[in-house]
Structure 1
């Protein structure tokens, strides 16, 4: 009779440690985010990654409910390597788990909002930093509620083609209205908030600074990063990255694509230039795999999260 090995050769997601890189082949094994062990036990974790597979608030193409699966799959390419550009294994400094996905009550939109907020609040109560894989952009509203309850009012750093300041009415559920609702509910510090890459026109700006797509391209990566720093300052912030901030050439798999956006390289360089900001939580949303090609959009989204995790690791060591 052959005994099972003490440590299985693959499937770090099931049997691995919350610290240190994994060695699973990129083409095999259980697909947690960057092979972090799956766990519902958050105590002791510095970082929790989870998915919110919700797309019932879209106004155009659906499919973002499949975003968390696709982003996890794309993240396998990072498995076990020193990460670019830091050159570090961030999980030497960060204890990190993949919490799986939020449990959502099917058919109950208000119940979904409550479930997202409650489960996020429970994770944040442990002191862990929460990274969310969406899901359409409505999910940022209950996520903001949970983060603000924990950290106080936050600046919003929003990469997006849309301002999301439409009014769906009190209690409305729409991915184009979460910013208006967040302002109405007093969740964000308007004077320190900024929307980057906007390429559409909304009925109101809610007092939030706007850096539109043409202006962002004109001032370049360094100028965009400087503008964000000047607006946000050193106070606490929440980062939300709608993947349609990227040009459809770099992110075809999204529900409301708008031409003229950032390349993946430009967006990643901007995020890396902001790596020392006091970001208390983040999400990447609106990845819709049915419209993706060769995982282009999912790869971009997973790399955005990977850069954020590296920034967390660097701040942890300071």
Structure 2
């Protein structure tokens, strides 16, 4: 970013970049017709891009690289208004030719077609999943492809290897059968309380042990964070991670073979002073710092 451009005048792309040659593509996916509580995540991509202006003043403060250097913002994916199955098909088709994608949601339902596209190219992947919810319900109020059923389908369709899947920040109410089904598939669940008691370093070590060195995907639902740090989301749950805890965990995941990422469920109508959008932008920023320099 040019030194003479003030932060408030940074161009509207993520980290101020536009559509150009780059090893990593940023795309917004403004879908939220499968949300089960508060709607509004369709406005998440624009809010995250706007908040990312706060991250363009220099290099990443621990990795000492510019995460924008190999990045291209390709705009927003098309969706089918009011039609979840058609929207998922459109998202998968648009993601298919992209080698390394960072997606800005939108609701968590966008992750399913992104994993479908990825699995077609490289097979089942490991999954690092930050969330308040396990998202392994068979359906939500009769809708099979709502945002709480993403990983039920991903596991059953063989898109992820559940033995290499770890969920961090889980704390919402759920039926015991949902919890037991998830564990029975081999998924590792780390509750928010375990994060608080054990600390980021221990959680990062556990992630490394589960994921190993095979390809892995990162899905970050902003409601993994406590509503004190991320009020702008559709299904907030108290007792969540502090933003610094999530950031510290991510910074300790260098060397893992990440092949894509999404950050989802930012609903800016419920935000306060852009803190949720900035947290989401920063998690994508941290991910870019992890993969920058090895995606070429």
- 1:61 correspondence with 2:32: no
Contact 1:51 1:102 in 2 (8 A): yes
- Report the Cα distance in structure 2 between the residues aligned to 1:28 and 1:258, rounded to whole angstroms: 35
Matches within 5 A, 1:8-27: 21-23=1-3, 24-27=5-8
- 1:161 correspondence with 2:132: yes
Partner SS for 1:143: helix
Q: 1:36 is matched with which residue: 17, 20, 26?
A: 17
Compute the displacement of 1:38 (Å): 2.9
RCO greater where, 1 or 2, for CA within 8 Å and sep 6 or more? 2
Deviates more, 1:70-79 or 1:104-113: 104-113
Matches within 5 A, 1:176-215: 176-200=148-172, 201-202=174-175, 203=178, 204-205=181-182, 206-215=185-194
Equivalent residue number for residue 6 of structure 1: none
Q: Structure 1 length as normaliser, TM-score?
A: 0.86
Equivalent residue number for residue 104 of structure 2: 133
- 1:100 correspondence with 2:75: yes
Contact 2:39 2:267 in 1 (8 A): yes
Equivalent residue number for residue 242 of structure 2: 263
Equivalent residue number for residue 207 of structure 2: 228
Equivalent residue number for residue 242 of structure 1: 221
Compute the displacement of 1:147 (Å): 1.0
Please, which runs of 5 or more residues in structure 2 have no aligned partner? none
Give deviations 1:171-207, integer Å, cap 9, x for gaps: 8221000000111111111111111110023423143
Contact 2:47 2:268 in 1 (8 A): yes
TM-align CA RMSD: 1.7
Please, which runs of 5 or more residues in structure 1 have no aligned partner? 1-20
Compute the displacement of 1:34 (Å): 0.3
Distance 1:91 1:62, change over 3 A: closer
**Count of equivalent residues:** 287
Compute the displacement of 1:123 (Å): 2.1
Q: Structure 2 length as normaliser, TM-score?
A: 0.92
- 1:110 correspondence with 2:85: yes
Q: 2:96 is matched with which residue: 114, 121, 124?
A: 121
Q: 2:58 is matched with which residue: 74, 81, 90?
A: 81
- Report the Cα distance in structure 1 between the residues aligned to 2:93 and 2:77, rounded to whole angstroms: 10
Larger radius of gyration: 1
Distance 1:261 1:184, change over 3 A: same
